[in-house]
A and B are shown apart, each in its own frame.
Chain A
Amino acid sequence: MLADLMHTLSSDVRMGMAQAAGAVILCLTVVLICRRFAVHVERETVLSLLRGLVQMVFVGMVLALLLHRNALVGMLILLAMSFAAAVTASRRAQGLKDALLLCFYAIAAGAGVVIAGMLATGALKPDIAILVPVGSMIIANAMNACAQSIERFNADVTAHVGQIEAGLALGAEPAVTVAPYVQSAVYASLLPRLDMLKSLGLVWIPGVMAGMMVSGASPIYAGIYQFILVAMILAASGIAGLIVTVLIRRRAFSPAAQLTLRPGEPHNSKLAPVKA
């Protein structure tokens, strides 16, 4: 197995690294152009490029090592990916208590339900070489949906504190006072995925379809499979967006139905004891 890995590294990797260098040069050119317009993303771009490359090389090596292991290992990898996705998404909810856990629940539930459904219906084979890449696409989209929902909900609630408190002051349930912002947060998480579905085949032909055709699959089946995948991404995003919004909605209020999410204040800000 190690010999296979070394062989892969020696032959394809050199070509891959050269192609990656070309991609990096193009990105850096864009960064330089941005700089001329006073848009400074140099540091962030360089770090992201380096991080992305290292991560992908690492994942490739791990997959090469695990290629012939059973599906359980693949599931564990997806679980770890879900956790990493939760770490990224939870950065949008700074100050929110248990943000990491909430994001993990939402992403794991969204991606988990969809992956389980695909496995059950045979749309996804329990083969680690397929399970992990396809699963990761679903997890990544669930992560984005989660982050978009959090961001939208936070922005809407902090912009409508007066309206929400007016509702609370009239004896409304907290959930009633933020209902419009829950709707817009979930919608915000679904919108990019809906656009993706609408433009499927017209604006872009996703990589999975291209890969299947290259490996000899029927173009029609490849197209249908790609549709299934994007539809599942939409479902996973919807579940993740909905769950995380409902969970942070509960965290936006105290047990005494007081709004704790306010501009400039972290969620559940600590109250200090009064000094006499």
Chain B
Amino acid sequence: MSHATPIKSAPVIECAECAPEEADRRPTDWTAQAIAVETKNLSRAVVDKVLVRDISVQVQKGEVLAVVGPSGAGKSSFLRLLNRLDEATGGTVLLGGEDYRAIAPRELRRRIGMVMQMAYLFPGTVAGNIAFGPRQRHETMSQEHIKALLDRVALPGYQDRDVSTLSGGEAQRVSLARTLANSPEVLLLDEPTSALDEATAREIEELVLGVIRERQMTCVIVTHNMQQAARIADRTMYLEAGKLVAIVPTNGVSHAG
């Protein structure tokens, strides 16, 4: 897996956990990696509040970046800007070097998949949910493909199950499989385990980690759990009041945590 990239125009690291020597722990081969996603002075403000303020960060192909910070820090707001579920009021996002405004929103969201905090499955069968994304492009998913995805998320034989009969953990696995069915280049995870009990959360976490490793996916995960960030991410960025206050390699997080 590839590793850390320093941000070029992000605020200077200010917190105690982010001493300069931590940043120097970066592997030496990071410059050789291509940039999958880059934000440039990304900002979003609504009428009376700045949700995301001037964030610039680069995420390498295959890198896992965790976004942490207190409630209301703008973690989810930042994530929602990456696949353009919300509109940025300043700055932009580059996907593979291309400005995301030059990419049709539907195509952008296929390429940048998102798993939300809640599964939000559509009424019907598990197979129907998994085939939803490709169906939007008038593509038919084969039964074998659906079966393979379900096997991968440890739900073999669930194709015909009605989603209303699934547990929270099962629903989140289906949600992950549904996103993977679009073959995204980048995976956004918005606190995907926060609504689950500890044991189920760990299972989902291991599943996600396995999937992104085997597919060498670029991943940005929002989490309030420092330990989870340490287990999953190559780097962790800290947000506070919408502002990027620090970005450190995962070792720095576990060290701080």
- Interface of A with B (CB < 8 Å)? 162-163, 165-173, 176, 254, 256-259, 269-276
The 22 listed contacts between A and B (C-beta, < 8 Å) are A163-B122, A166-B122, A169-B109, A169-B113, A169-B116, A170-B110, A171-B106, A171-B109, A171-B137, A172-B136, A173-B136, A176-B136, A257-B105, A271-B44, A271-B45, A271-B87, A272-B45, A272-B48, A273-B89, A274-B50, A274-B89, A275-B50
User: Does residue B43 face the partner (Cβ distance < 8 Å to A)?
Assistant: yes
Please tell me if the beta carbons of A273 and B90 are within 8 angstroms of each other in the complex: yes
Please tell me if the beta carbons of A170 and B116 are within 8 angstroms of each other in the complex: no
Q: Which of B164-180 contact A (CB under 8 A)?
A: 175, 178-179
Query: Quick one: closest A residue to B105, CB to CB?
Result: A257
Please tell me if the beta carbons of A167 and B122 are within 8 angstroms of each other in the complex: yes
B44 CB contacts on chain A under 8 angstroms: 271, 274
Please tell me if the beta carbons of A171 and B136 are within 8 angstroms of each other in the complex: yes
In the assembled complex, the CB of B72 is this many whole angstroms from the nearest CB of chain A, namely 16
Query: Quick one: closest B residue to A275, CB to CB?
Result: B50
Query: Quick one: closest B residue to A170, CB to CB?
Result: B133
- Interface of B with A (CB < 8 Å)? 43-48, 50, 53-54, 83-87, 89-90, 105-107, 109-110, 113-114, 116, 118, 120-122, 132-133, 136-137, 175, 178-179, 182
A270 CB contacts on chain B under 8 angstroms: 47
A162 CB contacts on chain B under 8 angstroms: 116, 118, 120
- Given A272-B48, A274-B45: A173 touches B87 (CB 8 Å cut-off): no
Query: Quick one: closest B residue to A176, CB to CB?
Result: B136
Task: Give the distance in Å from the alpha carbon of A196 to the alpha carbon of B121 in the complex.
Answer: 37
- Given A274-B89, A274-B90: A168 touches B109 (CB 8 Å cut-off): yes
Task: Give the distance in Å from the alpha carbon of A258 to the alpha carbon of B105 in the complex.
Answer: 9
Query: Quick one: closest A residue to B137, CB to CB?
Result: A171
- Given A258-B87, A269-B46, A271-B46: A276 touches B113 (CB 8 Å cut-off): no
B182 CB contacts on chain A under 8 angstroms: 170-171
- Given A162-B120, A256-B87, A256-B105: A170 touches B178 (CB 8 Å cut-off): yes
Query: Quick one: closest A residue to B49, CB to CB?
Result: A272
Please tell me if the beta carbons of A171 and B133 are within 8 angstroms of each other in the complex: yes
B47 CB contacts on chain A under 8 angstroms: 269-270, 272
- Given A169-B116, A171-B106: A274 touches B136 (CB 8 Å cut-off): no
In the assembled complex, the CB of A120 is this many whole angstroms from the nearest CB of chain B, namely 42
Task: Give the distance in Å from the alpha carbon of A169 to the alpha carbon of B189 in the complex.
Answer: 12
- Known: A167-B132, A173-B136, A275-B50; 13 extra A-B contacts, CB below 8 A, are A162-B118, A166-B116, A166-B175, A169-B83, A171-B109, A171-B133, A172-B106, A173-B106, A176-B136, A254-B87, A258-B105, A274-B45, A274-B54
B122 CB contacts on chain A under 8 angstroms: 163, 166-167
Please tell me if the beta carbons of B45 and A172 are within 8 angstroms of each other in the complex: no
Could you say which of A169, A172, A276 has the most chain B C-beta atoms within 10 Å of its C-beta?
Answer: A169
B109 CB contacts on chain A under 8 angstroms: 168-171
In the assembled complex, the CB of B74 is this many whole angstroms from the nearest CB of chain A, namely 12
B120 CB contacts on chain A under 8 angstroms: 162-163, 165-166
B85 CB contacts on chain A under 8 angstroms: 165, 168-169, 258-259
Please tell me if the beta carbons of B86 and A258 are within 8 angstroms of each other in the complex: yes
B53 CB contacts on chain A under 8 angstroms: 274
Please tell me if the beta carbons of B116 and A272 are within 8 angstroms of each other in the complex: no
Please tell me if the beta carbons of B110 and A171 are within 8 angstroms of each other in the complex: yes
B137 CB contacts on chain A under 8 angstroms: 171
In the assembled complex, the CB of B112 is this many whole angstroms from the nearest CB of chain A, namely 9
